[in-house]
Structure 1
Amino acid sequence: MKIPIQLFILFLCLFSLKGYSQTPYNQRWPSFRGPFGCGFIENSKTAVTWNVETGEHIKWKTVVPGLGHSCPVIWGNLLFVTTAVNATNSESLKVGLYGDIDEANDSVVHEFKVYCLDKNSGKIIWERVAHKGIPKSKRHTKASQANCTPSTDGKYLVVHFGSEGLYCYDFSGNLIWKKDMGILAPGPYTDPGVEWGYASSPVIYKDRIIVQCDIPNAPYITALDLATGNEIWKTSRSDEVSTWCTPAIYSKDGKTMVIANGFNHICGYDFETGAEIWKLSNGGDAPAPAPVVANDLIYLNSAHGKYSPIFAVKPSAKGEITLDADSTKNEYIQWSIKRGGAYMQTPLIYKGLLYNLQVNGLLTVFDALTGELKYKESLKDPFSASGVAADGKLYFSSEDGNIFVIQAGPEFKLLAKNEMKDVCMATPAISGNTIYFRTQHFLIAVE
């Protein structure tokens, strides 16, 4: 009896994941920006140059229908990604540097879809429609209806479609549970009623999912049970404006915190109870970057409106830690800068340096422990995606589809600029010796 190839691939992948907890760390990219949101992996040998037209170093290229800015996530041999497919197949996207607050017209039925692919071949193993209908909230002309990156622990896959709900699948594509999170329609606080689309990705830690919902009315952060979706705790962020930030986890010596970026409400919360531990204000007023934990510090940046800081916060912080107007550090803030943080991109902290890339392509590099400026260099292109790193190399994806490969270190050295021939809004994923780029129309594996 012949077995259909799709079924064979599924059996092969499930067999290889039977002992998912033993999957090597450099084969895992389980959430936004990889393991623990750090943005890099070790023990990999990644490419410097490639060519999507000739196929040089291109392992595979697979069409992904619809529009989505969510990033691919990987565990073992499986790669997952989400998208929103417009019934008219005419998804609009306006990229580049502009300041319009315009909303896209998404008043037709969409299919909110989850794809599982074989990471080695690019073949689609299964796809699921999580929800079908006219979007319940609008998006910015530069955003999508599938902004949130999935998260996995090797057993469960959690995907978030904002106002269309939160969904949990197993690795065979069976729906375990779904949860209506209400209308999540963040937008600029200066223009009430304008909706830019939800973008905070879920974070899995141990047996919980952390979801940050900074929306115009009653913003909050919550912890849900991974196996059931039941609420464990929910903490109000009542004085916060809309944000698009993914939370982070700090855990050391029995102390575990949830870190949430923001404008008025940059906070550390107790992982077990949701109680606020410390609070910091004066961030950018439309923050999107995720916090980053490295060097036993918590790094936060943002840029919009009056403020564009970078903060390096000590995990021992307690209470109100906001800096005085003329100060750049205090008991709990090791160093900071007042202006120069990034509006969209999460900073990349790699081999002792902090790489801060702004939307206009200005790359500023600091000593991650002291804040000492190492260099500034303009990459000139517009950027939305965050940087990633492996094998001593940095990868920055511009909206124009140029991938800048830069040697890690205190001096600027451009190794290559590779053209993807398509718009790039999503942060890449890395697994083993392969980098996975999500462009507007494709998933592309570069080996």
Structure 2
Amino acid sequence: MQKIALALSLLLVAVVADARSQYWPQWRGPDHNGLSSAKGVPTSWSLEQNVVWRKKLPSWSGGTPVVWGDRVFLTSPNSGEEIQGGEKLLLGCLSTADGSVLWQRTIDEGNAYWRKHNNTTPSPVTDGERVLVISGTGMIRAFDMEGGELWHYDLQQEHGAFGLMWGYASSPLLYDGALYVEVLHGMNTDDPSYVMAFDAASGEVRWHHERATDAVGESPDAYTTPVPLVYDGQPQIVISGGDYVTGHDARTGAEIWRSGGLNPGKEWNYRVVGTPVVVDGMVYATSRRNPVLALKAGGEGDISESHRVWTFAGAGTPDVPSAVSDGRHFFMIDDRGRATCLDAGTGEVLWGPERLAQGSVSASPVIADGKLYALNENGVTTVLRAGPEFEVLATNELDGGYTLSSPAIAEGRIYIRTETHLYCIGE
């Protein structure tokens, strides 16, 4: 009987893993941490090799494509002569078979841009029943899978103008039937930062929570994305920025715990871009330059010291790219294109910083099939062995276009967005 139960348990795990490998439903993948269980993912490609299809896009964007079944969703300004593209902010639905456009909808209008992002930087999210998106203007729209609008909500109209130095760029989180949105700002406003939850189906506001901070100058600003954490059966939402990492009750928004340490010198310009990583009961948070904080789940109130497992302030820490961990190894790609691997449990340096392909990096790395995929701003992907020794498996070039969005992996295929095209890579 025990053998049968074990076999059924293993079968269930395999089925769940297989299901997760078929989708990339939001920016950081099915588990919100850059990990994919997909197998047979390509290691090498070029314009002439392993490109299943490529689709010309209206304009550039930092938004990452998301994939569900036979559909891939992505945001973009409409075409325009100026670098920022046209004024309409679009959500497109493409076929995963050939890249053909199935439908396209306007999210909002007004496409300002700030250095590395424009008003289509936030990535869409989907659960297979609906696709939801937020623009840099603060307009949230929900559509069914055929493009029918379900509901919309204007954050700036309801809660005041955004006050970030570089514009609003946080992707939402879709988790357990709710859409979670954060607005962490302070450089150009005295309004408080806040986190919100919406019913994904109806758009009803479930809760609105003001998030306190004593950060000064630009440091209240953050461009991170909420991530889920389950501790002792309790779902929490982890938020990073404004000098703190906080954990909130997913049902009410109430703050459960808080850790300082992201900005130990209390500098005025320590805005945070990298989203925290949650894996195996640990929360890993990067800051503007350093340190990196590793916190164990659990606790209430101020856990800055009680739950901190390690702190890393050495070379190779990222600013813009988020990190990724498989639970054993913690990988960082810094903005200069150098890779570093730490022991996820201790923070010990296993290797790095090691130079990858020449070029700056804004995209966040992903792990699939035992490989680490690191994409730079020239559209070049360095594929590494995701392990305790530095090993480059391949360096893959595409069209050389300005590339800011992160790779998405679903059903063994890699989706890469460059300045001009969306590529579907597969063997």
Q: 1:272 aligns with which of 244, 251, 254?
A: 251
Q: How many Å apart are 1:43 and its aligned residue?
A: 3.8
TM-score, with structure 2 as normaliser: 0.87
- Which consecutive residues of structure 1, in runs of 5 or more, have no partner in the other structure? 1-20, 93-105, 188-194, 323-329
Counterpart Cα distance in 1 of 2:107 and 2:226: 24
| Structure 1 counterpart of 2:140 | 166
Q: How many Å apart are 1:238 and its aligned residue?
A: 3.4
- Please say if residues 125 and 174 of structure 2, whose CA atoms lie closer than 8 Å, have aligned partners that are also in contact: yes
Q: Which amino acid aligns with 1:75?
A: W
Q: How many Å apart are 1:288 and its aligned residue?
A: 0.9
Aligned pairs for 1:141-290 (under 5 A) are: 141-182=115-156, 185-187=162-164, 195-216=165-186, 217-239=191-213, 241-284=220-263, 285-290=270-275
| Structure 2 counterpart of 1:337 | 312
- Please say if residues 60 and 122 of structure 1, whose CA atoms lie closer than 8 Å, have aligned partners that are also in contact: yes
Q: How many Å apart are 1:253 and its aligned residue?
A: 3.6
TM-score, with structure 1 as normaliser: 0.83
Q: How many Å apart are 1:184 and its aligned residue?
A: 5.3
- Please say if residues 283 and 294 of structure 2, whose CA atoms lie closer than 8 Å, have aligned partners that are also in contact: yes
Give CA-to-partner distance per residue, 1:412-434, whole Å, 9 cap, x none. Answer: 11111111222211001001111
Counterpart Cα distance in 2 of 1:273 and 1:374: 40
- Please say if residues 184 and 198 of structure 1, whose CA atoms lie closer than 8 Å, have aligned partners that are also in contact: no
| Structure 2 counterpart of 1:110 | 87
Q: How many Å apart are 1:62 and its aligned residue?
A: 0.2
Counterpart Cα distance in 2 of 1:252 and 1:166: 29
SS for the counterpart of 2:21 is helix
Aligned pairs for 1:335-374 (under 5 A) are: 335-340=310-315, 341-350=317-326, 352-374=328-350
| Structure 1 counterpart of 2:54 | 61
SS for the counterpart of 2:409 is strand
- Please say if residues 186 and 243 of structure 1, whose CA atoms lie closer than 8 Å, have aligned partners that are also in contact: no
1:75 aligns with 2:75: no
Q: How many Å apart are 1:79 and its aligned residue?
A: 0.6
- Which consecutive residues of structure 2, in runs of 5 or more, have no partner in the other structure? 1-15, 264-269
Counterpart Cα distance in 2 of 1:49 and 1:186: 43
Counterpart Cα distance in 2 of 1:61 and 1:51: 12
- Please say if residues 310 and 339 of structure 1, whose CA atoms lie closer than 8 Å, have aligned partners that are also in contact: no
Counterpart Cα distance in 1 of 2:128 and 2:347: 36
Counterpart Cα distance in 1 of 2:161 and 2:73: 23
Q: Call closer, same or farther: CA 1:162–1:352 in 2, change over 3 Å.
A: same
SS for the counterpart of 2:36 is coil
| Structure 2 counterpart of 1:125 | 102
- Please say if residues 124 and 131 of structure 2, whose CA atoms lie closer than 8 Å, have aligned partners that are also in contact: yes
CA RMSD across the alignment: 1.9
Number of residue pairs aligned between Structure 1 and Structure 2? 389
Percent of aligned positions that are identical: 29
Q: 1:291 aligns with which of 256, 276, 286?
A: 276
Q: 1:391 aligns with which of 325, 347, 369?
A: 369
Give CA-to-partner distance per residue, 1:379-432, whole Å, 9 cap, x none. Answer: 242100000121111110001221101111111111111112222110010011
Counterpart Cα distance in 1 of 2:17 and 2:99: 23
SS for the counterpart of 1:36 is coil
SS for the counterpart of 1:25 is helix
Q: How many Å apart are 1:156 and its aligned residue?
A: 1.3
